[in-house]
Amino acid sequence: MSDYLPINSNSLRADTKIGCDLHLLVKTSTGSRYVLYCGGDTIFEDDKREILVKKNINRLFIQKEEQGEYFKYLESNFQNIMSDPRIPPYELTQIVYNATANLVKDLFKDPRVANIKRTKEFAHNIVDYILQESKAAHSLLKIATHEYYTYTHSVNVAAVGTLFAKNLGFEENDLKQLCSGVLLHDIGKTKISTDILNKKGKLTEEEFQEIKEHPEKGVAILKETGNGFRDEYVVTLQHHENYDGTGYPYGLQREEIHSSGRIVRIIDVYDALTTNRSYSKAMRPFAALLEMKENMINYFDKEMFNKFICFLGPYDPRGEQRESDKLQN
């Protein structure tokens, strides 16, 4: 039974090819079993969809090994799915998060032109969702995963960064550039040895120097596409620049760092601290913010950091209520 995953049948568009087999869970006198409802290589016709509606069936099942195909389907049909009022807001958020994580996972497996363009295009869908869905902030903050993978980290930072930038008053086009840049910001790590990226102990000086090359390697990858991803260069280059000039790769400081770079620096650190890493356990949100304030505050634009605390204040991300006022001066 664990080889199957439930999906919301309302996420399926009539007269489209889903790309993975769809099953019904049928109860019998001897137990339950999965029955094929529509093959992945056939058209999901309108009459099949209507049968589900008439019988009030809103759950179908796919095999776990085919979930990547389903997520690609969601990605391709997202605009239509987003406008369907039958899909509850939290489930829509799950669709956004899972489809994004799947495409960024594909990006890190194969960081070539098609996947880079695909990532940028879907970033615009994420922003459209955030601007249209009033409950997006609470849902996205709640769903962010505790486990650190390069691709889930990129999704977490993109979601929280875009929401925070919206809170700061960024316009739609600027939000789309930021979101796209964050999803792509660690693409340079595809050129770094996985032994270094996943090392549990302390990095040697040589290993850390290699890690420090990933922002510039990332921009080089974007330039290789020949598609002019200039808006994404800033975030890719500057997400490790510190406000006091001690960051890398260029040691920029204060207003030399673009506002998008300053936003992502804060959230990049926050997400890294609040997710499980190969070398450290996740910190609780309040503890992470306290660590950032007491031991890392010079890395950040202090005014922006305080606004980030205020931004998180109304929410209860990752299951903890924080006393955010204690963190502010």
Convert the pLDDT of each residue in 76-94 to its tens digit.
888 888 888 888 888 888 8
* % the chain with pLDDT above 70: 88
**Same structural domain, 135 and 276:** yes
User: Is 105 a domain residue?
Assistant: yes
Closest CA to 221 of 195, 179, 192: 192
The answer for residues whose C-beta is within 8 angstroms of residue 302's C-beta and 6 or more apart is 243
**Same structural domain, 241 and 314:** yes
Q: Strand pairing partners for 61?
A: 6, 23
How far is 142 from 312, CA to CA, in rounded Å?
11
Q: Where residue 323 sits, what CATH number does that domain have?
A: 1.10.3210.10
Residues 292-302, mean pLDDT to the nearest whole number: 94
| Cβ(174)–Cβ(182) below 8 Å | no
**Same structural domain, 59 and 129:** no
**Last residue of some domain: 66, 100, 118?**
66
**Same structural domain, 110 and 198:** yes
190, two tokens: 């595809």
Domain total in the chain = 2
**Same structural domain, 264 and 150:** yes
Query: How many angstroms separate the Cα of 164 from the Cα of each of 140, 284, 313?
Result: 12, 20, 12
User: Is 62 a domain residue?
Assistant: yes
**Same structural domain, 303 and 232:** yes
**Same structural domain, 107 and 164:** yes
**Same structural domain, 40 and 169:** no
User: Is 81 a domain residue?
Assistant: no
pLDDT of residue 303: 95
pLDDT of residue 21: 93
* % the chain with pLDDT above 90: 32
How is residue 32 annotated by DSSP? E
**Same structural domain, 13 and 154:** no
Instruction: Please check the confidence at residue 262 and state whether its pLDDT lies above 70.
Output: yes
User: Is 79 a domain residue?
Assistant: no
pLDDT band at residue 137, thresholds of 50, 70 and 90? low
User: Is 264 a domain residue?
Assistant: yes
Residue 35: which domain range? 1-66
Instruction: Please check the confidence at residue 274 and state whether its pLDDT lies above 70.
Output: yes
**Same structural domain, 55 and 99:** no
pLDDT of residue 148: 52
**Last residue of some domain: 66, 96, 121?**
66
pLDDT of residue 296: 94
**Full DSSP string of 139-196:** HHHHH--SB--HHHHHHHHHHHHHHHHHHHT--HHHHHHHHHHHHHTTGGGGGS-HHH
Residues 201-221, mean pLDDT to the nearest whole number: 89
**Same structural domain, 170 and 316:** yes
* 68-82, 87-101, 295-309 — most confident range: 295-309
**Same structural domain, 56 and 165:** no
pLDDT in tens, 95-117: 888 888 888 888 888 888 888 88
pLDDT in tens, 18-32: 999 999 998 887 888
pLDDT band at residue 285, thresholds of 50, 70 and 90? confident
pLDDT of residue 1: 46
pLDDT of residue 329: 56
User: Is 163 a domain residue?
Assistant: yes
Average pLDDT of the chain, as a whole number: 85
